[in-house]
Structure 1
Amino acid sequence: MTIALPSETIFHVIESTIKEYRRFAQKNISAKIKGITIDQGMVLIFLKEHPEFTQKEIAKLVFKDNASMTRIINTMVQKNYLKRSMNDEDRRRSKIEITTKGEEILKTLPPIIHHNRSSSLQGITKNELKQLETILNKIKNNCLKT
């Protein structure tokens, strides 16, 4: 039995599409906001919507392991986008909060994100997007079964 080269599979197309979108999006973010990454922007967005989330919960949402998330948050604290404070309920954990500088970035991100998404999805119908989402969810669910 022969198998297709990795570059000839749908998984290669999916991964290369994600990488190209991240490159495209980062270029557009960097043009408007100096010194922030896509991952840092996502952390700010998730914390804004869910200020109670722990570092571990945020890491899961941005697809990062705990060590990577620690580095991202440490960098964001150094850049004054976030601050850590003592968690009153559990002293072993610190609370992560958005600073004024982080809030300013959050005000700048939405039009950039809208541009990135609309540009990358140009020429694709809502029906095609729904079909793609359905197919990708089937692939994901197949992987979760085993």
Structure 2
Amino acid sequence: MKFTTPTQTIFYSIERAIKEYRKFGQKNIHKLADDITLDQAMVLFLLAREPELSQKEMAALVFKDVASLTRMIELMVKNGYLERTFKKTDRRQFQLSLTTKGKEIIHELEPVITTSRQTALEGLTDGEIEQLNTLLQKIISNCNRN
């Protein structure tokens, strides 16, 4: 493969697509709740579906280090979206749970996120989306293999 400038690579296009989607998604979330970021919304949705996730597991799923995730959680506790209690099995660990406000915002955000995804993928067929996902999974696999 011939060397090209960084802006002429597929990786640049992938990165740009991600950044543009994140800006677009954040703008749509901000219309509904100006104190929630896209990353915080991801954490809320993860906790709603998998309440037993550890912070380490959650950090990996949202591509953050544990310290960054901890700061996000602190802010969501402060803003009333999450509550933190000691785990019954190990009082050294915390259990995170959604508050009523957290559950309400998830309910409100779901259609916003669905619409954002649909808009971003507009003009792509299901087959193209599936093929793109397959190709991206191959790149991920190649990077993890070496």
TM score, norm. by length of structure 1: 0.96
1:70 aligns with 70
Identity of aligned residues (%): 49
Kindly report the root-mean-square deviation, in angstroms, between the aligned alpha carbons of the 2 structures: 1.2
1:20 aligns with 20
Deviation at 1:129, TM superposition (A): 0.5
Name the CA distance, whole Å, in 2 between partners of 1:48 and 1:134.
Answer: 28
1:128-139 alignment runs, 5 A limit = 128-139=128-139
User: Which contiguous aligned blocks of 4+ residues in structure 1 show a shift greater than 6 angstroms?
Assistant: none
Q: Which amino acid aligns with 1:76?
A: M
1:102 aligns with 102
Name the CA distance, whole Å, in 1 between partners of 2:51 and 2:131.
Answer: 33
Name the CA distance, whole Å, in 2 between partners of 1:129 and 1:3.
Answer: 28
Structure 1 residue 10 corresponds to structure 2 residue 20: no
2:123 aligns with 123
Name the CA distance, whole Å, in 2 between partners of 1:132 and 1:77.
Answer: 37
Name the CA distance, whole Å, in 1 between partners of 2:56 and 2:77.
Answer: 17
Structure 2 stretches lacking a partner, 5+ long? none
Deviation at 1:3, TM superposition (A): 2.3
Structure 1 residue 60 corresponds to structure 2 residue 55: no
SS at match of 1:51: coil
Deviation at 1:123, TM superposition (A): 0.5
Deviation at 1:107, TM superposition (A): 1.0
Q: Tell me if the contact between 1:54 and 1:96 (Cα under 8 Å) persists in the aligned partners.
A: no
Deviation at 1:92, TM superposition (A): 1.8
SS at match of 1:132: helix
Name the CA distance, whole Å, in 1 between partners of 2:71 and 2:87.
Answer: 20
SS at match of 1:63: coil
